[in-house]
Amino acid sequence: MKKIKISLNSFDKVKDFVDITCKLDYDIDLISGRYVVNGQSIMGIFSLDLSKPIDVTIVNERNAMQEIPKELEEFMV
């Protein structure tokens, strides 16, 4: 399991993030305050406060995550 902080402060960033996460074979949870949503759900992401950085938990059941997927690095803060 890996944890990172990301910023999704525009519609285009949310759309790009969801496009990328739908292609990954990981469980991705976005956490904002007490809310946890699926990282592949555009509606779920828009229910979060996007004006602040969002915590992301990435879980890969097959093997331990050693690195953050390169596709997600552009969103990191």
Q: Could you read off the pLDDT tens digit of each residue along the chain, which spans 77 residues? A: 788 999 999 999 999 999 999 998 888 999 999 999 999 999 999 999 999 999 999 887 665 556 677 888 999 99
What CATH number corresponds to the domain at position 31? 3.30.1340.10
pLDDT at 57: 92
String of b and e for 59-71 (b: at least 16 CB within 10 Å)? ebeeeeeeeebee
The total number of structural domains that make up the chain: 1
Phi, psi of 63 (to 5 degrees): -150, 155
CB within 8 Å of 23: residues ≥ 6 apart: 71
The pair of three-digit structure tokens given for residue 10, joined into one six-digit string: 């525009």
Is the pTM value of this prediction over 0.95?
A: no
Q: Cβ distance 76 to 6 under 8 Å?
A: yes
What is the domain range of residue 9? Answer: 2-75
pLDDT at 1: 78
pLDDT at 32: 94
How far apart CA 17 and CA 15 sit, in angstroms, is 5
